[in-house]
């Protein structure tokens, strides 16, 4: 068996595994051998070295994802990577309107056009002949994703449109109309854009490490490339962050088309914009790598979830009282204000009766946005319907000897206090106006011990 036959067979099998056309467990073991005679025209036989019955490795389990009509193939669930399997030669035009899947010509020819309208992912065409490959007779600007040709003969022309075509295995194209597209031999240059990592979108800070790349982009058809060796070879990816030097790339190997997500530079916690530099190397050697590039990934600041503070039910008692029970927030700290401008973490407290507005918010942080400003209305009730100050018996706004004189007259029975005056005079709030209250007011006037 020549190295070329082995190389093509290995590539076909690996791509078939990635495309879902053979059981996933068949290739997952990585124990595959290829045997055939170089002179023989018989199909290449694939053997599995693991001790599994041959019947178990055949395709019946995958039959549900194999279609024989274009209509059924196009209608298959997006992302299911189905196979359109021809059972006879086809005279006319086949138009594929999906962005994933395999068109297996199965040794037959299409005597006409194969229009491939993939707008969101690569398509594979393999094992047969086609007159022409195009996208559409009209505008082709929407069809930008690659096409991989494996063992395909194009007897007339491939019309490139906006796309890149990759030639793998025994592929021969009579002519290539460049239009805006290009073509490359995949066995010499790798899969280029197909193998590039994709930036993860919609990331929001959550306090945990998050993968910066869309790992689903590593589960496509690109996991294996043929080499001159007799065994299949995997891409090796190297990643680093922008602030690191280029020689600090960290290997993140891909096996069976799946990236090794344990590669540390692929993760970040804090909100911000990250430049992820990478290279991929189809030979697994740093110096010989190709595909240097970078992607920008953003982790957005989170929006705090705020539980509003609640108002306390307060009655004036001449003492300082807290207006609210503290609220809470999922991120940062809740701050409060009585004027809507000066905020602090302290709970607002007042001594006087009246109506108050307590404003609250979360200040913006490195990983979260500022919350919207909320407010709570709080009332400190006055049981007498008006504001009063303990010790200011006559209500002139001052606490002085005049107030003591009124209390003395009340105690001696010469002139009793009104209800409001009595409440102002009862500075120790024991329900009695006596010499004790006079003593406390006197200490307040002298500055020895202030009331309240």
Joined together, the tokens standing for residue 305 give: 């979830």
Share of the chain above pLDDT 90, in %: 38
pLDDT at position 70: 95
Cα(74)–Cα(438) distance, rounded to whole angstroms? 96
Q: What is the pTM of this model?
A: 0.50
35-44, 290-299, 328-337, 400-409: which has the highest mean pLDDT? 328-337
Over residues 45-104, the pLDDT tens digits come to 333 333 434 444 444 344 678 999 999 999 999 888 899 999 999 999 999 999 988 899
Six-digit token string for 335:
């701050």
Distances (CA, A) of 194 to 101, 213, 221, 360, 413: 14, 14, 8, 50, 102
Structure tokens at 374: 């909320």
Query: Average of pLDDT values for 7-20?
Result: 40
The angle formed by the CA atoms of residues 415, 384 and 448, to the nearest 5 degrees, is: 65
- The mean pLDDT of the chain is 75
The residue that leads in pLDDT, 48 or 142, is 142
Question: Using the 8-state DSSP alphabet, how is residue 86 labeled?
Answer: -
What average pLDDT does range 167-181 have in this prediction? 76
* Residues in CB range of 300: below 8 A, 6 or more apart: 203, 204, 205, 271
pLDDT band with cut points at 50, 70 and 90 for residue 149: confident
Confidence of residue 435 (pLDDT cuts 50, 70, 90): very high
End-to-end CA distance of the chain: 101
Query: Please, which pLDDT band fits residue 106 given cuts at 50, 70 and 90?
Result: very high
What is the predicted pLDDT for the residue at 80? 86
Say if residue 452's pLDDT is above 70.
no
Q: Six-digit token pair at 170? A: 């025994």
pLDDT for residue 264 is more than 50: yes
Angle between helix 435-446 and 401-411 (nearest 10): 170
pLDDT in tens, 294-341: 788 999 999 999 999 999 999 877 789 999 999 999 999 999 999 999
Is residue 386 very low, low, confident or very high in pLDDT (cuts 50, 70, 90)?
Answer: low
Cα 34 to Cα 14: distance, rounded to the nearest angstrom: 12
Distance, CA of 185 to CA of 165 (rounded, Å): 8
How far apart, in whole angstroms, are the C-alpha atoms of residue 438 and residue 391? 9
């Amino acid at each position: 068996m020549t190295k070329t036959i082995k190389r093509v067979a290995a590539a076909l099998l690996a791509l078939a595994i990635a495309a879902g056309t053979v059981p996933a467990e068949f290739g997952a073991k990585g124990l595959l051998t290829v045997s055939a005679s170089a002179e023989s025209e018989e199909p290449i036989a694939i053997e599995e070295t693991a001790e599994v019955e041959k019947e178990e490795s055949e395709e019946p389990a995958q039959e549900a994802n194999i279609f024989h009509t274009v209509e059924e193939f196009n209608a298959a669930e997006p992302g299911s990577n189905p196979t359109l399997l021809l059972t006879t030669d086809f005279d006319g035009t086949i138009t594929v309107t999906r962005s994933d899947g395999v068109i297996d010509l199965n040794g037959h020819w299409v005597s006409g056009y194969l229009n491939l309208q993939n707008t969101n992912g690569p398509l594979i065409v393999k094992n047969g002949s086609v007159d022409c490959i195009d996208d559409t007779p009209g505008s082709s600007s929407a069809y930008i994703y690659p096409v991989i040709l494996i063992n395909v003969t194009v007897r007339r022309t491939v019309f490139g449109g906006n796309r890149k075509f990759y030639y793998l295995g025994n592929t021969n194209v009579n002519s290539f109309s460049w239009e805006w597209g290009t073509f490359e031999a995949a066995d010499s240059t790798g899969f280029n854009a197909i193998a590039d990592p994709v930036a993860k979108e919609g990331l929001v800070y959550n306090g945990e490490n998050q993968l910066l790349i869309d790992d689903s982009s590593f589960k496509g058809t690109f996991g294996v490339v043929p080499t001159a060796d007799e065994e299949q070879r995997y891409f090796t990816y190297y990643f680093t962050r922008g602030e690191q030097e280029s020689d600090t790339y960290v290997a993140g190997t891909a096996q069976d088309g799946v990236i090794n997500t344990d590669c540390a530079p692929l993760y970040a916690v804090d909100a911000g914009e990250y430049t992820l530099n990478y290279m991929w190397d189809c030979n697994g050697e740093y110096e010989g790598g190709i595909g240097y590039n970078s992607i920008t990934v953003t982790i957005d600041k989170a929006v705090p979830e705020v539980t509003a503070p609640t108002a306390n039910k307060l009655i004036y008692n001449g003492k300082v009282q807290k207006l609210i029970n503290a609220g809470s927030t999922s991120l940062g700290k809740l701050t409060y204000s009585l004027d809507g401008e000066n905020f602090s973490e302290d709970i607002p407290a007042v001594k006087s009766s009246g109506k108050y507005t307590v404003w609250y918010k979360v200040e913006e942080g490195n990983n979260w946005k500022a919350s919207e400003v909320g407010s709570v209305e709080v009332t400190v009730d006055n049981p007498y319907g008006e504001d009063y100050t303990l010790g200011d018996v006559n209500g002139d706004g001052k606490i002085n000897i005049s107030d003591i004189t009124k209390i003395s007259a009340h105690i001696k029975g010469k002139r009793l206090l009104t209800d409001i005056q009595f409440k102002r005079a009862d500075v120790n709030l024991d329900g009695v106006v006596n010499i004790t209250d006079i003593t406390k007011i006197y200490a307040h006037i002298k500055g020895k011990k202030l009331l309240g």
